[in-house]
Amino acid sequence: MSNAPLTGVTTDRVVIVGAGLGALYAALDLAPRPVLMISPEPLGQGASSAWAQGGVAAAMDATDSAAAHAADTITAGAGTVDAGVAEMVTAHAREHILDLTDLGTPFDRGPDGGYVMSREAAHSVARVVRVKGDQAGKQIMQTLIAAVRATPSVQVLEGTLAVKLETSGDTVTGVWIERSDGTTDPVLIKAPAILLAGGGSGGLFAHTTNPPRIRGQVIGMAARAGARIADPEFVQFHPTAIDAGEDPLPLATEALRGEGAILVNKDGERFMPAIHPDGELAPRDIVARAIFRQSMAGLRPALDTRKVLGAQVLTKYPTVAEACARAGIDPVHDTIPVAAAAHYHMGGVDTDAQGRATLGHLWVCGEASSTGLHGANRLASNGLLEALVYARTCARDISAHTPAVEDAPLVDIAFPGGGAPLDAASVSALRNCMTKYVGVLRTHEGLEEALSQIARIEADNADNVTFCNMTATATLIAAAALMRCESRGGHFRSDFPEADPDQAERTHLFLSDALIVRRAISTE
């Protein structure tokens, strides 16, 4: 193909936006159907999946059951979980663990060959399958990447970023991509089916555990194309990010608390037992708010692993040990300072039981989607599970509704010059705004201020499509939070601190609805 700049190409390949667990798993399930993956970084880098420490929730023990797992999911979701989705996802959990095992994932096994299970917050039993203590995401990703690299039908365009969906009426016909450093103008790829698997929104907040590029762009891109969004106000803040000045903040996995680690403040006071009967293993939103309040009071909360793990923390949880070492913390002898940080977005592109968005030829899986599984508060380690289940569901639905193709030429793109990278100061202003006003604790006045600031920052960057994807998602989160005048799960309003039974339902809205809310504030 000529190296002359192109404005667009057409392919018979299914285009997958993203390169995390959901994207890789779907690409493998689609094989031998030709696939094109849009990966902003080299495979394995920059995906939230690779950073997941806890593992995959699944009822693998004979004393456990999918029904019990579903019940815990529904309870943790604070009244807005789709029970049918919870039952379906948990029923399929075991088969995906076995499939990953067959692919070569080195899950931790006991002397009897059984899977080693960890207990995490709001689970009634230990049911989180792990790898080397805290390396589940990394190891699963390495296994899937090796499998994808060995699959001829999968083409990966590394260093590329999806920025806009092309539509005809209510149907998606293609996706615009550019170099991920923002130094080129976009090129249109027309394709028979688009699967969005590009992550969540944690990086929209100044304090986050997500990789730097995960800032709501995929959700915003779909919303700007006209897709319906569900539950955007529900953001989960992980209570135990290691508070040592890094951006993003390293994660101290919940499995540490499952082992018996406790939370204390600078005075050595253990504060969780007085807040919830489950103490450190209370639902994440409760622990996150407790951590946040300790921080705001200047009491410097910390995770204490010394008594329960001692020197074992260095070998059983190498990722945590490495993060502590970078910060000059000795977890064998010292407590680990922690803070609440944006970790997982329960909201996203609204999808049906087959992973279809409200726009034709568009499917979504993983954190960019909102399936109804998580409700207002995701049960720990259900994120990777949902990505696995819906990646396969989407892949099979795409195959069923897209003409069969045995082969397709490799997509060869020469990007035209131009483009402009994101303005770092504007990104920082947006992230600080989200943490200050749309973070762990929210108020009417703060959310209105957030929407006003988002509008101003967006106006200053109106020519940058990637930035506008970010501000679209930020607008959806803040507007939905303003509209929900109660506290539920990951959404807590200081001015409405109690749950309202009449609001125990999911949120569904379009970006146009959120913009009406935002514009109303600017005219007040």
Mean of pLDDT values over 191-212: 95
pLDDT at 524: 63
DSSP label of 58: -
Per-residue pLDDT at 103 exceeds 90: yes
**With bands split at pLDDT 50, 70 and 90, how would you rate the model's confidence at 461?**
very high
Q: Does the residue 16 lie in any domain?
A: no
Per-residue pLDDT at 3 exceeds 50: no
pLDDT at 420: 86
For the chain, first and last CA: distance in Å?
56
Q: Does the residue 246 lie in any domain?
A: yes
pLDDT at 8: 86
What counts of helices (H) and strands (E) characterise the chain?
A: 15, 20
Q: In which element (H, E) is residue 177 found?
A: strand 171-179
Q: Does the residue 105 lie in any domain?
A: no
Mean of pLDDT values over 384-398: 97
Lowest mean pLDDT among 135-139, 235-239, 489-493: 135-139
SS3 231: coil
Q: Where is the domain boundary, 315, 341, 367?
A: 341
Q: Which pair of tokens denotes residue 483?
A: 């509209």
pLDDT at 7: 64
Is residue 118 classed exposed, middle or buried when 0-12, 13-18 and 19+ CB atoms within 10 A define those classes?
buried
Q: Which residue has the tokens 């087959």?
A: 354
CATH of residue 432's domain is 1.20.58.100
Cross-strand bridge partners of residue 37: 16, 156
Is 284 an annotated catalytic residue? yes
Q: What does the DSSP assignment read for 54-115?
A: S-EE---STT--HHHHHHHHHHHTTT---HHHHHHHHHHHHHHHHHHHHHT----B-TTSPB
Per-residue pLDDT at 394 exceeds 90: yes
Per-residue pLDDT at 522 exceeds 70: yes
Share of residues in the chain with pLDDT > 70 (%): 98
Q: Where is the domain boundary, 325, 341, 357?
A: 341
Under 8 Å between Cβ of 148 and 25? no
Q: Which pair of tokens denotes residue 417?
A: 């010059």
Q: Which pair of tokens denotes residue 121?
A: 């917050």
> What strand order describes the sheet that includes 128-129?
56-57, 128-129, 117-118
Most confident of 119-123, 138-142, 171-175: 171-175
- Round the average pLDDT of the chain to a whole number and report it: 94
Rg of the chain over Cα atoms, rounded to whole angstroms, equals: 22
Q: Does the residue 61 lie in any domain?
A: no
Instruction: Give the C-alpha separation, 289 to 272, whole Å.
Output: 11
Q: Does the residue 250 lie in any domain?
A: yes
pTM (2 d.p.): 0.94
Instruction: Give the C-alpha separation, 180 to 217, whole Å.
Output: 12
User: Which residues neighbour 502 within 8 Å (Cβ) at sequence distance 6 or greater?
Assistant: none
Under 8 Å between Cβ of 127 and 71? no
Q: Does the residue 324 lie in any domain?
A: yes
Cross-strand bridge partners of residue 8: 188
Q: Which residue has the tokens 């508060």?
A: 377
Angle of helix 136-149 relative to helix 382-401, nearest 10 degrees? 20
> What strand order describes the sheet that includes 160-168?
8-10, 187-190, 171-179, 160-168
Say which of 13, 179, 257, 284 is annotated catalytic: 284
Instruction: Give the C-alpha separation, 344 to 348, whole Å.
Output: 11
Lowest mean pLDDT among 26-30, 41-45, 198-202, 221-225: 41-45
Q: What does the DSSP assignment read for 268-307?
A: --B-GGGT-TTGGGS-HHHHHHHHHHHHHTT---EEE-TT
Per-residue pLDDT at 253 exceeds 50: yes
Domain encompassing residue 243: 237-341
Q: Where is the domain boundary, 320, 341, 362?
A: 341
Q: Does the residue 293 lie in any domain?
A: yes
Q: In which element (H, E) is residue 369 found?
A: strand 369-370
Under 8 Å between Cβ of 509 and 376? no
Q: What is the pLDDT of residues 325-368, one digit of tens each?
A: 999 999 999 999 999 999 999 999 999 999 999 999 999 999 99
pLDDT at 419: 86
Instruction: Give the C-alpha separation, 490 to 77, whole Å.
Output: 9
Pairing status of strand 187-190 against strand 8-10: parallel
CATH of residue 242's domain is 3.90.700.10
Under 8 Å between Cβ of 192 and 173? no
The tally of domains found in the chain comes to 2
Mean of pLDDT values over 283-306: 94
Per-residue pLDDT at 5 exceeds 70: no
Instruction: Give the C-alpha separation, 257 to 294, whole Å.
Output: 18
User: Which residues neighbour 89 within 8 Å (Cβ) at sequence distance 6 or greater?
Assistant: 70, 73, 371, 373, 382, 385, 386, 389
Q: Does the residue 53 lie in any domain?
A: no
pLDDT at 1: 31
Across the chain, which distance is largest between two alpha carbons, in Å?
Answer: 69
Under 8 Å between Cβ of 377 and 234? yes
